[in-house]
Amino acid sequence: MKLRNIAIIAHVDHGKTTLVDQLLRQSGAFRENQRVAERVMDSNDLEKERGITIMAKATSIAWKDTRINIVDTPGHADFGGEVERILSMVDGAIVLVDAAEGPMPQTKFVVGKALKIGLKPIVAINKVDKPDARISEVVNEVFDLFAALDATDEQLDFPIIYGSAKQGWMAEEPTGPQDGMAPLFDLVIEHVPEPKIEEGGFRMLGTLLEANPYLGRIITGRVFAGSVKPNQAVKVLDRSGKVVEQGRVSKILAFRGIERQPIDEAEAGDIVAIAGLEKYNVADTLCALEVNEPLQAQPIDPPTLSMTFLVNDSPLAGTEGDKVTSRMIRARLFKEAEGNVALRVEDSPGGESFIVSGRGELQLAILIETMRREGFELGVSRPKVVFQKDEAGEILEPIEEVVIDVDEEHSGVVVQKMSERKAEMIEMRPSGGNRLRLVFHAPTRGLIGYQGELLTDTRGTAIMNRLFHEYAAYKGEIAGRRNGVLISNEQGEAVAYAMWKLEDRGPMMIEPGWKVYRGMIVGEHTRDNDLEINVLKGKQLTNIRAAGKDEAVRLTPPIKMTLEKALAYIEDDELVEITPKSIRLRKTYLDPNERKRARGKTAAIA
């Protein structure tokens, strides 16, 4: 069969995974009576819960006499590393754009990468059935974006197709005819070139890595030259050309719809998964024994945010999880870094903690959430930005391009809060329906924890999108959290009566009956200083009937701390304790005297 390899790239929530659903359904990949989940490519639990794609995944469909390999990619900027590396596997890309929102930051980021390596994109305007669709303006915005990204004349002459992935149709005109996905299939076959096949022995560049309990490591990638059969002897070369290991291919799996089937031979141009090698890493070259030159992998943008992962040393350590030692945490983090090229893991000088650097808060929060579901217990510090130095020794910090869509009535408070966070406004323009699109260049430091505040300020109506822009000169100090915290001074179970009496001190973050310990954060103080309180003190009982004896205890509902909210909330001297059942906030030093000593040292250094 003829071959075509394409990626579907777009901003988060523009409909990529829904489009792949329809392509699979209409190409006959499913039986007529087969039960298929919605967004079938979002296979892991976190993807299903959050409704976002986290991992890039491959599938394939047969249309007429052509097999089309499709890679579904994440749309969130934090998972941009997934998209960057799969672009080397494909020869074309479908750029999916929402007919109302237009091209957003992540679209710009990925399209820029795709144009740079010479891909000729197809632009698909999705959701044309939305009542606020502005199709012609969006097409113009896409053209302007391509021009701003230095597209060649050939790339600027892109074909456009319109439709609704949810309704299952694409057409050459926004008005139809609505006869399924056939026009898109035909356009892919006509516009995307056949895979280029290189001369020489078997060579394959791996881009996705996974662990299988039965087959061991499975590497998904594209075969650039030659062919490979099961049981063939192969070797692995790293980027510099050094031999990492030699071994045999135990199984070759080809993508057929959403399933993988064993095949007898993989040929150049095809995207396949290979099992049988132990030490393979992403971006290494798998090749025949006579080959000595590795394939060049795409460079990956550097991480901008880092966090320290520590062994959980709280009094409640080991009561809820079964993986608590530094050896287990270290092995899990380094295993994650092997398959995720946008993540960097280093041992800290002390040896009991690990510095994990990534693209953003969401990427690191997803890693932590995955680990706690696997039974890990750990402590995590506040996210810090990764600074760099220029040739003159000046400190540079990461700056992000922030696009905020907000109702006009709330724009004032957004501009004010962003300027407090040292952001610089670049653009303000109407985006339809009494809404404004504000574009800022803001330091990553200032954006940590801003998402929740933005939603509060705009009553949940604002949408914020961020994207790494550049490293620039340090912007100066940014004010942190305004309120102090309430800290437990005893260990035990929280009592409703004590919490009720302490309500005027500030809102609580715990519920009656929860286990607390000395140094644990149990609430937010109404003032700017920290306050130690006793949430264990019960009511003094006597045998004298008093007027207020039978007062009912009515507690205000506590502040619910999700993982992302907790990471954004803590200060530098605090940690988030994460276990499979709980998320607790605590001070780094649980003993109040140690806290005072640490504060004194910090003040002396300053």
* Residue stretches of the annotated binding site: 13-18, 126-129
Considering all CA atoms of the chain, what is the largest pairwise distance in Å, rounded to the nearest integer?
96
Residues 395 and 114: their CA atoms lie apart, in Å, by 31
486's tokens: 């309430």
Pairing of strands 92-98, 120-126: parallel
Query: Long-range contact list for 418-425, CB < 8 A, 24+ apart?
Result: 418/442, 418/446, 420/478, 420/479, 421/446, 421/447, 421/450, 421/478, 422/446, 422/475, 422/476, 422/478
Neighbour-count burial of 129, counting CB atoms closer than 10 A to its CB (0-12 exposed, 13-18 middle, 19+ buried): middle
- Rounded to 5 degrees, what are φ and ψ at 281? -120, 160
Residues 573 and 604: their CA atoms lie apart, in Å, by 16
Within a 10 A sphere around the Cβ of 58, how many other Cβ atoms?
24
Residue 558 identity: P
Give, as one character, the DSSP assignment of residue 86: H
Q: At what angle do helices 361-373 and 326-339 cross, to 10 degrees?
A: 130
- Say whether 500 sits in a helix, a strand or coil: helix
Residues 80 and 117: their CA atoms lie apart, in Å, by 16
List, as residue ranges, the binding site for GTP. 13-18, 126-129
- Rounded to 5 degrees, what are φ and ψ at 77? -60, -30
Residues 39 and 289: their CA atoms lie apart, in Å, by 41
DSSP per-residue letters across 279-344: S--TT-EEEETT--PPPPPPP-PPP-EEEEEEE--STTTTSS-SB-SHHHHHHHHHHHHHH-TT-E
43's tokens: 């296979």
Sign of CA pseudo-dihedral 374, 376, 381, 386: negative
Which of 408, 457, 461 minimizes the C-alpha distance to 435? Answer: 408
* 8 A C-beta contact, residue 71 and residue 89: yes
Round the CA-based radius of gyration of the chain to a whole number and report it.
27
